[in-house]
Amino acid sequence: MGLGGNNSAGWETLLETVPLACKALGKEKLLWWEYGNEPDLFSTSAQGPVRPPSWNEATYYCPGLTSNSTYGYLAPSFAGLNNHLKPVKAFQSGLDADKDIKIISSHNYIGGATQPGVTLQGTLMNHTVTAKSVDAQAQLQKNLSYLGLPFILGETNSLYNQGKPGLSNAFGAALWGIDFNLYCASVGIRRVHMHMGTNYRYQSWQPVQTNITTLGTKPPYYGHVAVAAMMGNLKKEKTRIANIKLDTDTEAAYAAYSNDKLSRVAIINLRQYNYTVNGTSSVLNPVKRPSREYTLNVPADSGKAA
């Protein structure tokens, strides 16, 4: 909705952009409007505040929104759960008073690209860290369940600010993506939108050649393929994902039940291994890649395990 463009230039940009977006989408392709992108940062953003310090949940809500069967909104799309504006308080302040919010959207990142101490093994390839991050979103979903609205992660990926080189674009990030998305499914988050953009480090593919990034698929893409295989054909079968609790940070396991019958199992070994010395050298790592054998005990009437 362009809520961040709180000036005449922002308004003109909105007026000029909407016709282009509508033309590109065509008829019947626009589902709902997003009621502001990360408005919880509008008064505190490091990129420059666009709202005064008095900006709060009540002033964020606009009772003058057009509301009928044609229009609906995705909200609140907050950047986090503990920023200046709080999701639960936003709804308590009247956000859905007109019953025009169709989907509850929340944003989630495991950490930041420039945050001190962020590492591939300790931050992304760490099931405990991932589960803790997603559990907070699952709790928000539970807290807002009285609204009877679907809850999704409308924007998410590994590390905010487009990802970190050597982490978000490494194959370890593909393993993180498998763990993250399957864990989301296991706690009932029904949809996840992975944030991407041209030249972004955490992108799944680069659609054009640039002087920064080569055209083609990137490591996170292969993680998404694995998740899709685990979920199965959702048009033909009802799939339920269950998290199998393990004792270490560096392993994760999930079971997929199709029509209440065990059909697939995924085991993710999150132990970091660099194919080359330090992961940046052209010299091959002299240390052999370690391996581990897993044994599964499954019911005799289960489907094929993979």
Write out the catalytic residue numbers.
57, 155
Going by C-beta distance under 8 Å and a sequence separation of 6 or more, which residues neighbour residue 63?
94, 97, 98
Going by C-beta distance under 8 Å and a sequence separation of 6 or more, which residues neighbour residue 166?
120, 279, 280
The DSSP letter of residue 122 is I
CB-count exposure of residue 6 (10 Å: 0-12, 13-18, 19+): middle
Q: How many helices (H) and strands (E) does the chain have?
A: 6, 10
Distance of alpha carbon 264 from alpha carbon 239, whole angstroms: 10
The owner of tokens 């920064």 is 212
CA distances from residue 29 to 39, 65, 137, 232, 302 in whole angstroms, order as listed: 25, 21, 28, 26, 40
CA distances from residue 53 to 40, 57, 66 in whole angstroms, order as listed: 11, 12, 27
Question: Which one, of 135, 129, 131, lies nearest residue 106 by Cα?
Answer: 135
Handedness of CA 15, 21, 26, 31 (dihedral sign): negative
Q: Is the distance from CB of 202 to CB of 220 less than 8 angstroms?
A: yes
CA distances from residue 122 to 110, 128, 173, 179, 189 in whole angstroms, order as listed: 11, 10, 12, 14, 24
